[in-house]
Amino acid sequence: MADPARVRPEAGRPEPGEGSCSSTSSEPAAKPRSAAAAEEEEEEGSSSLHPSPAKKLKMEHDKKKEKRQKVDEDEIQKMQVLVSSFSEEQLNRYEMYRRSAFPKAAIKRLIQSITGSSVSQNVVIAMSGISKVFTGEIVEEALDVCEKWGDKPPLQPKHMREAVRRLRSREQSPNTKHKHILFH
Amino acid sequence: MAEEEDDPGFDEDLDDGGNGVDSGQGKRKRLFSKELRCMMYGFGDDQNPYTESVDILEDLVIEFITEMTHKAMSIGRQGRVQVEDIVFLIRKDPRKFARVKDLLTMNEELKKTLKAFDEANYGS
């Protein structure tokens, strides 16, 4: 998520239009790019029609960075609008969604008990993050199953099991029954 | 933990290490019960999820972490778990990949900011 204070205000730049939700750098849209190209080349001061490869790379990178920051800005604004219109129960749920996390100490202990050696902090951070996404996928799938079977929350073990079965058949969840992993 | 609905047959399954879905992990203490409850509520479940569902989820998460760890140990530098290995293993799953990248980037930014802050405080 970009820090809005970091973004330089660019007057006269056309709005991208689409509100794409991906914060990883996706394919840049054609329209803002050509406008940016005109600006960038003027700024660089090079009158040549073919800037050197290094300059070209830098320009591309800057364009992509600005586009990404613009998209992030839009996303942040939209999120603010959305969150401001939440009911109290939704606010509660959203707070739980953002704040809940696995305890780093327990994760670290778990990983270290498997490897037998110590692991860096980044590994623990990455693993906790992935685990949270993993539980999110299962819970969402289980809610789909629950709704499809005409039941109501709270979720029951049969929904969870069906959700896991579905995720495994789609290969979104690790399945050790069919893959044999050889390691020393 | 008061688990009235557990039948005593669960404690027999101590040899079942990998598949935590159909049978419980036996006598292992519950590591994530509180956090998992909050998480399930955040993801859309009821405010008070069933204990059995929480248990199933915990077993699944532990199985997931165990499996990732084993895989990470077998690629790259053997016997060690490094971030690059995790990123490599996750590359096919777009959600998890994006999440890991975000987390690591934010962490780097945070460290840089804190470092700059410290240096500003304690002289040039």
pLDDT value at residue A161: 93
Burial of A23 (0-12, 13-18, 19+ CB in 10 A): middle
ipTM of the complex model: 0.75
Interface contact A184, partner B, CB < 8 A: yes
For residue B39, list chain A residues with Cβ-Cβ distance below 8 A: 96-97, 100, 132, 135-136, 139
pLDDT band at A14 (very low <50, low <70, confident <90, very high): very low
Mutate to test the interface with B, among A72, A130, A160, A177 (most CBs of B within 10 A): A130
pLDDT value at residue B7: 43
pLDDT value at residue A47: 53
Whether pLDDT at A8 is above 70: no
Q: What is the pLDDT of residues A24-35, one digit of tens each?
A: 444 444 444 444
Nearest CA of chain B to the CA of A183: how many Å? Answer: 5
Whether pLDDT at A178 is above 90: no
In angstroms, the CA B96 to CA A131 distance is: 9
pLDDT value at residue A88: 92
Rg from Cα positions in chain A: 23
Interface contact A134, partner B, CB < 8 A: yes
For residue A99, list chain B residues with Cβ-Cβ distance below 8 A: 38, 42
CB-nearest partner of A138 from B19, B60, B65: B60
Mutate to test the interface with B, among A127, A141, A143, A171 (most CBs of B within 10 A): A127
Instruction: Answer yes or no: do B42 and A119 touch at CB < 8 A.
Output: no
Nearest CA of chain A to the CA of B117: how many Å? Answer: 17
pTM of the model: 0.68
Instruction: Answer yes or no: do A123 and B81 touch at CB < 8 A.
Output: yes
* Nearest-5° Cα angle at A115, A101 to B18: 75
Which DSSP category does A19 fall into? -
CA A144 from centre of chain: 22
Cβ under 8 Å to B: A residues 14-73: 22-24
| Token code pair at residue B20 | 């935590």
CB-nearest partner of A123 from B48, B64, B86: B86
Of B82 and B33, which is predicted with more confidence?
A: B33
Identity of the highest mean pLDDT range in B9-18, B33-42, B82-91: B33-42
For residue A103, list chain B residues with Cβ-Cβ distance below 8 A: 32, 35
pLDDT value at residue B40: 93
Nearest CA of chain B to the CA of A128: how many Å? Answer: 9
pLDDT value at residue B122: 78
Taking residues B112-122, report their average pLDDT: 87
* Nearest-5° Cα angle at A177, A173 to A182: 100
3-state SS record for chain A: CCCHHHCCCCCCCCCCCCCCCCCCCCCCCHHHHHHHHHHHHHHHCCCCCCCCHHHHHHHHHHHHHHHHHHHHHHHHHHHHHHHHCCCHHHHHHHHHHHHCCCCHHHHHHHHHHHHCCCCCHHHHHHHHHHHHHHHHHHHHHHHHHHHHCCCCCCCCHHHHHHHHHHHHHCCCCCCCCCCCCCCC
Q: What is the pLDDT of residues A48-100, one digit of tens each?
A: 567 788 888 888 888 888 887 888 888 899 989 988 898 999 999 999 999 99
Q: What is the pLDDT of residues A89-133, one digit of tens each?
A: 999 999 999 999 999 999 999 999 999 988 999 999 999 999 999
Nearest CA of chain A to the CA of B110: how many Å? Answer: 12
pLDDT band at B120 (very low <50, low <70, confident <90, very high): confident
Task: Give the residue on B whose Cα is nearest the Cα of A165.
Answer: B21
Q: What is the pLDDT of residues B57-109, one digit of tens each?
A: 999 999 999 998 988 888 878 888 888 878 887 888 888 898 999 999 999 99
Q: What is the pLDDT of residues A137-170, one digit of tens each?
A: 999 999 999 999 998 878 899 999 999 999 989 8
Q: Mention every residue, 6+ apart, whose C-beta is less than 8 A from residue B58.
A: B30, B31, B32, B33, B36
